[in-house]
Each structure stands twice: as structure tokens, then as C-alpha cells.
Amino acid sequence: MNARVGLLVAVLAVVGVASTGVVPVQFSYVTSDSMEPTLSPGDGYVLVEGSAEVGDVATFSTADGYVTHRIVGEGPNGYTTRGDANPSTDQAAGMPPVEDEQVVGRALTLGGSVLVIPGLGALAALIAAYRPFLLAGLVALVAFETLPKSRGGVPDREMLRISDVVLPLSLGLAAACVLTLVVSVTTEHLTFVATAVDDGATLAVGESAVRTVRVDVAGAPFTRTVIDANGVTVVDRTVSESAATLDVRVPAQSEPGPYTASVSVHPYPAVIPRSVVLWLHNVHPLAASVGSTALVFAPVWALYGLLLDGRAPLRFIGRDGGASL
């Protein structure tokens, strides 16, 4: 088997095993300098889900999003937190104490120091921007490396083996499935207008409101959808094969004017539990696409490994009953 193909199959196998949810970890990165010198902007870290204690660098949810700061104290109302580069605590700046249920997890440490992955943020942005091209290039590389080589300008037909055909074909189909999931994501951009009075079509200044929106989806049978909301909170949902009807809560606006938000619907094959899909999706939507696709193809690869010898020459039966290569 070609070394690059073997490596790719091994990576997909690892993704398949990881998708069982046995290891509750994920990768994340910081975007500000509040944790310097421990974590600089763009530095990544391994987030171990679960509780945290004083001294840990923890990721926790707030009204403004997720924050990664160090826990520096604990009181009856919750934890006190502070960025390593900040002179004062978050609570001194007006943030309420962090409660246990807000804590997502803690940063993995080795020898008492946070395990830092330099440049993970830039890599994540690159993959997010160019993932279709990266996948296409990967498929092309695998196909090229598994083509039968030639000796002296004469194609080495005798060396065409079962693995030379089955592996590129199955991996190409898997990559096509991943690309299909990527391009099937539907994003709906929403605009709400805040005015002095809520008349049903607009929002009242200073008051939150629930509105119903409909998002057309490229769904199919036996798919599971994950909905991402940016700027609104989804309070109820009804998803069919062609549309998602969402009740979203729009936050109160302090002044009149337009307010923009968006919701995205991600479809995934319904082959793994929803909790695992959500975990992979939170790591990255591409991880959920690859993980669920790998599980779809896992029985095919298992049967191939058990029933076929990939090293055997590929033979075709001719009209005279003989075998030809």
C-alpha cells in the first residue's frame, strides 16, 4: 500500500475512533492578548471538558461569548477570574462571579504549564477559508500517488493491484461526501429593526423579542442537523427535509435602528449520536463532516480489509476465459 494512502486511512481511522466520544477533549485558541505571556493571540490549547479549580486556565461562557482566563479565587457566589496580562480581575471590571455550570473545561497542562499549540488560530482560519480546495488537493494527491508507475516508459500493468483501485475510489467518494456536506450548509442573514414600539414587524427598544424565521435547507432522509446562531438565541426549532422553522430570541437593543444576525443549518449523516455530532461540530464543522462520513464508509473499509487482499494483482476475465492484467 502506498505510504501516503496508508497514512490517510490511519488518520480517518483515528477520527472514527475519536468520534465515539470516549475522550472528552477539544482544541481551541485565543484571539486576544489578555492571557499573555501564557497564551498569545492565535495560540491554541487542548481544552479538557469538565470542572476547574483555582489556578487553572479555564474556558467559560458569558453573556458576551466564551472567555479563557485563569481562575484566581473562589467564593460563595462562584469563581474569580483574571487574564494573566490584566492588572485586575474580571469581577472588578463588572463581570459576575463565574458559576460551575458556566465552566466548559480547563486547558491541559504539562509540568504545570499550559500545553500551547502555536499558530492554531491561523491554521483554523486557513482551513475554514480554503477547505474545499484543500480537500480537492488531498484527493488529487492520493489519486496521483496510487496510480501504477511505469518502468522505462512502458506502463507497469503487472503491478496494478486491488488497492490501487479500491482505495482511491473509496477515498474519493468519501471526500466527495465531505464536500457535499460542506456546500450543503445554509446560512440565512437576518435584519431586525428596533423602534420605539413593538408592532410585530419591529422590535421595541429595550425589550427582547421572539421572532419566527424560516431557513431553506438542502436536507435529505437520515440526516441530522445542527443549527448555529450568531446574534440571536434559538428557543425552538422544527426541521424538515426542505426547511427549518426557528423561533429565535432577539436581544434587547439600546437604541433605534437595524440589528443584524444570522443562523446556519449544518446537515450531517445520522450515523452517530447527536451528542457526538454536537461535540465534533463544536471542535469544527469540518470535524463533524469528516467523522460522520468516515463512519459511513467504515463498514466498506472493514469488509475490504477482511475479505480482500489489497496486494493481489487486479485481473479481468477475457472473452476466451483467460485472465488479463
Q: What is the pLDDT of residues 116-174, one digit of tens each?
A: 988 777 766 656 655 566 566 666 655 665 555 554 544 544 556 666 666 777 777 77
Domains detected in the chain: 3-19+119-182+303-317 (no CATH), 44-117 (2.10.109.10), 186-270 (no CATH)
CB 37 within 8 A of CB 68: no
Q: Is 318 helix (H, G, I), strand (E, B) or coil?
A: coil
How far, CA to CA in Å, does 203 sit from each of 7, 235, 246, 255? 54, 17, 17, 10
- The 8 Å CB, 24+ separation contacts for 48-52 are 48/24, 48/105, 48/106, 48/107, 48/108, 49/24, 49/25, 49/104, 49/105, 50/24, 50/105, 50/106, 51/100, 51/103, 51/106, 52/79, 52/103, 52/105, 52/106
How far apart (Å, rounded) are the C-alpha atoms in residues 34 and 81?
12
* pLDDT tier, 197 (very low <50, low <70, confident <90, very high otherwise): confident
Instruction: Supply 319's cell numbers.
Output: 472473452
pLDDT digits (tens, 9 = 90+) for 81-125: 999 999 999 999 999 999 999 998 999 998 889 999 887 777 666
CB 70 within 8 A of CB 84: yes
Q: Is 179 helix (H, G, I), strand (E, B) or coil?
A: helix
Tell me which residue has cell 475510489.
169
Comparison of pLDDT for 57 and 167, the residue scoring more: 57
